Each structure stands twice: as structure tokens, then as C-alpha cells.
Structure 1
Amino acid sequence: MDFLKKIETDLSAAFVQNGYIVQQCENLSALDKIRHKTVDLATNFLEVPYPEDAGEFLDKIFSLVPVEKLNSFRLHIISGLMAEAWFREAYFSCARSLVETIVGNELVMQRNIGLSIQFPGDDSSLLPLHSDSWGSECSPFEVVLWIPLVDCHRTKSMFILPPAADAKWRERVKEFAGAGTESLYRAVEPEIEWLEVPYGNVVLFTPTIMHGNRLNQESTTRWSMNIRFKGLFTPYSDKRLGEYFAPIAVRAASKIGMKFTMPGGFNE
């Protein structure tokens, strides 16, 4: 039996087949607030005035930040965003119904935020081809909510290997054990998909499939955020509840059940 609504069934089928979904942000005002705060933190770090065009400012940030200061700049923005009490709920609201459809409505959310700032031609922020679930740290029940703060396309974006191709190449990974990740990438490259994600859209994808980024060969900077979600009661790997993940949606019946104890002597 399947009691999902048609829209839920369609979204679920697309996610299973493609490994990801790109859709419009469900709360654009929240996304704008996140981008505004990001720009505010950036201008604070650089000691420059707030720009008239936030998107253009972020696109051209490479002209203001030396590569050797990029990591400290990135950490400044992450800590500033995480210090805001509203940030995590705002981020979730950008795709709440999508996450609930794909994952469920009792959820945990990654405690920290991932932030990628990739300058044109800079090889210091590359994320080679990988699948998070191949190691012991990532549960295959996780999903990643990836949100760009600028228009992302081609090498300014991320790539994924669709599930059917991923399954085929996964069986052959051992053939590349001595050749390295780059050799594997070259083999799968004809089958990868580059995600086109304009600002105002979000991506939800499964980290079980191979994905990553390459050298940004576009003329502007990539800015993207990512946070993981999973079902509260699904299996965990090394990234534990309370350490890596924090509950954000626990239903009443679950709260009662987790606190329930049998009365003494009941089974005597």
C-alpha cells in the first residue's frame, strides 16, 4: 500500500531515479535574509560598505579577498551565520516540504553548516569525485540540502553521477584503486550531470551517489551552502545524534514513547 499523495509520489520517484531534485526555494524571504547576512559578514571582514547589488558583490568577491585569506574569510562567515538564532530554521524553511516528502517529518539536522566559496581558477577549494556513504562516517539515509547564494552553472556548480550510472561504476571502483580518484573521474565524466541552479533555487540530493566539483572555469565566484538532514529514527553512522546532528522535529507520540517505562512488577 502507498498512501502518499500524487505530488509526493512523483517527487519521490524523481529523487530515486535522478538522485536529486532542483526546485524553487519555498521561502525566498528567508533565503534573501541569509544572503543579506552573508554579505553583511563579508563587508564587516573586509571593512567595506554594503554593496548596492548583493549578487554582483558575491560574484566578484575574488577581487577583494586574497586566496591566502580565503579560509579565514570563510570561517568568519560560518561562525557569524551560526551565531544567529534564526539561521537554522530559515535554512530549513527554504525546502521544508521537499525535505519532509523525501525524508519524513521527524527529522534531525546537521549542527554546523558547510560553505563553499570557489574563486575562478582557484584549486584550493576542490572537492574531488566521491560518495559520502562509502566511508563509515555518513549514513546512507542522509540527504543534503545544497543552496547557492549566486547563480550556479557548469563548473561554477556541482556535478553528480546519476544513480543508474553510479551503480554501474560502483561495481568497478576497485579497478581504479591504484590509479586514483582523477582516473575514476575521467572514466565516469561522460555520464556526469552538472546542475544548473540559479539563485532562488535549491538542490536536495543523496550523498550515496558520486558527486563533487571541479576547477571553477567561469568568470565569477561560486557561493553555496550545504546542510544534511535525516530521519530521527533511521540508522546513524559515525556522525551521531547530539554530536553531528540535532533534532528539529519530534512528534508527540515519539516523545511519549521515548519516555515510557513499564511499571515495576508488571511482568512478575
Structure 2
Amino acid sequence: MPVTNMLTAAEEALNQTFLSDGYLVVPVENQAGLDRIRDCVAELAASHLKIDLPNDRQAFLDGLHQHVDVPGLNDMRLAVINGMNQQPWLRATYFSLVRSVLDQVVGNELVMQRRINLSIQLPEDDSSLLPVHADVWDGDSAYEVVVWVPLVDCFKTKGMYILPPTPNDKHAATLSQYADGTTEDIYHAIEPDLQWPDLPYGKAMVFSQTLMHGNRINEEPETRWSMNCRFKSMFSPYADKLPGEFFEPVTLRAASRFGLDYKLPSGFEE
């Protein structure tokens, strides 16, 4: 549709990068907040494992595979997820990591996923894989973005892959060819076009979950820790996940509050 562009030059540049790449890798806007989240996660993990938490939180998280094996990993992960989501400050702090970026590429009236997710992948662990997918294939709105935040340095197979928009469109047009195949078949078809963004601790990635993405076996000698949470514009179309159930408004403005509360006077005949 025709668009009159009133974005600033900086906003336009950021939006064009997002449109061309499908993702943005940005420094977090609240490093102290990220450190607080990381330390909380490390404390919860150490508590579940009944071990003393080392002073070097980063080294502890990177070396988690020295303290837990694959069979015990999911119980620990669920304990950490439940514990961190009980912290009343967590969601506001997570939002603060990329608030201005979301304001520029998504909107200033946002809904946020009610619970923040945590992914942990031990080295050479094939039980924690996320096969190639796009979230819109499973009931998510095409208007959502994912904010993906590593708690350790993430690179190569210790990170995640994503298929940029142009090759994504090309491969999406041929997905019906794999109706009798597997996600591995799709992965091998798209592999030459994939990007593996490097995300050192202190950076975050915002990406469109209309794009194919996933992870592979972590071939690095360190454990991967990452968090993710979905955001979307309050008034953009929803799919299966709705406000109040999956999402919660977090930046609703006064004019919208008036509009949502307004009721036409009744009792008049037409």
C-alpha cells in the first residue's frame, strides 16, 4: 500500500536493515538490568543443583555441563524458568533491554508475552534442538517479533541460525515439496543461505518470526544460555495467541485507553 514516510533518517535506516536482514543485533540498552537477569538465572540454577554459586557467573553458566547431565537438564531448566518468572521486576527489565528498538520497528503501543522463555543447550546435546521452523506455522501472528537475549557469548553452533527474507521467500515457495519429508530435508535445502549471527553477551537480537530459524547441535565446548520473548503492536492482527492469555499490554497510551473504554450512548431510536 502507499506509505508516506515520516520516519527520521535514523529510524528509516534501522527499519530498512530489519526489512532486508529480517533481524537486528543491537547492544542492550540496560546492561545493569541484563547483569541482574543473568545473576538471577545463575543463582536459581546453582540453588537447584545444590552447589555454591561461583563469583564468576559467566564462567559458571558457560561451564554448566560440568554440573548437570542431559537427563537432569530439563528439570533444572523448568525450575529456573519458574523461579525467574516469579520475579516481579523481570519482565520490565527484559523490556528495557531493547525498548527503543521495539519502539522504532514494532510500535509504541506494545503487548508482551506473559512468560519469558529460557533455552539451555549443553555441548554435543541432541535433545535440546529446535528444528527449522517459523513460528507463524504454529499459530503465531505474522506481526510478532522475538527478542532473543544470550546470557553468555553465543556464536556459530552455540547460537542460532536464521534465513533472511529474500531466500526465505524463495524456499517458502517450495515447502510443499517436503510434505513427505522431514525438517532435516528442509534444513539441508536452506543451509547455504542461512546466517549465524554472533551475539556476545551484552547484545540482543530482534527478529521476525515469519522467517525460518532454529538451532543445531552445540559443537562448542561451552553451554548455551539464551532467553526469548515475543512482542507485537497492540492493535495489529492476532492469530491463536491473544491478549490476556499469552500477551499482556505494556505500553498502552491514554488515547487508546479512552477508545477501548468508550461506549456509545444507548436508548435512542434510529
Measured against the shorter chain, the TM-score band is: over 0.9
Partners of 1:6 and 1:26 in 2: CA distance: 20
Cα offset, 1:134, TM superposition: 2.2
> Helix, strand or coil for the counterpart of 1:202?
strand
Confirm or deny that 1:177 pairs with 2:175.
Answer: no
Partners of 1:33 and 1:134 in 2: CA distance: 34
Aligned to 1:248: 250
Partners of 2:268 and 2:215 in 1: CA distance: 59
| Selected match of 2:87 from 84, 89, 95 | 84
Partners of 1:54 and 1:265 in 2: CA distance: 65
Aligned to 1:214: 216
Gaps of 5+ in 1: none
Aligned to 1:55: 58
Amino acid at match of 2:160: M
Partners of 1:215 and 1:267 in 2: CA distance: 68
Amino acid at match of 2:150: P
Confirm or deny that 1:198 pairs with 2:200.
Answer: yes
Cα offset, 1:114, TM superposition: 1.5
Confirm or deny that 1:109 pairs with 2:112.
Answer: yes
- Per-residue CA deviation, residues 162-196 of structure 1 (Å, 9 max, x unaligned), is 10000000001111111211011111101100110
Amino acid at match of 2:22: G
Amino acid at match of 1:60: G
Cα offset, 1:264, TM superposition: 2.4
Aligned to 1:11: 14
- Per-residue CA deviation, residues 106-134 of structure 1 (Å, 9 max, x unaligned), is 01000112111000000110000111112
Partners of 2:265 and 2:102 in 1: CA distance: 38
Aligned pair count reads: 267
Cα offset, 1:140, TM superposition: 0.2
- Per-residue CA deviation, residues 140-172 of structure 1 (Å, 9 max, x unaligned), is 000000000000000000000110000000001
| Selected match of 1:100 from 64, 81, 103 | 103
Taking only the aligned residue pairs, the percentage that are identical comes to: 47
Aligned to 1:236: 238
List structure 1 runs of 4+ shifted beyond 4 angstroms. none
Amino acid at match of 2:48: F
Partners of 2:90 and 2:134 in 1: CA distance: 28
Confirm or deny that 1:132 pairs with 2:130.
Answer: no
Confirm or deny that 1:158 pairs with 2:160.
Answer: yes
Taking only aligned residues, the RMSD between alpha carbons, in angstroms, comes to 0.9
| Selected match of 1:119 from 117, 122, 126 | 122
| TM-score, normalisation: structure 2 | 0.97
Gaps of 5+ in 2: none
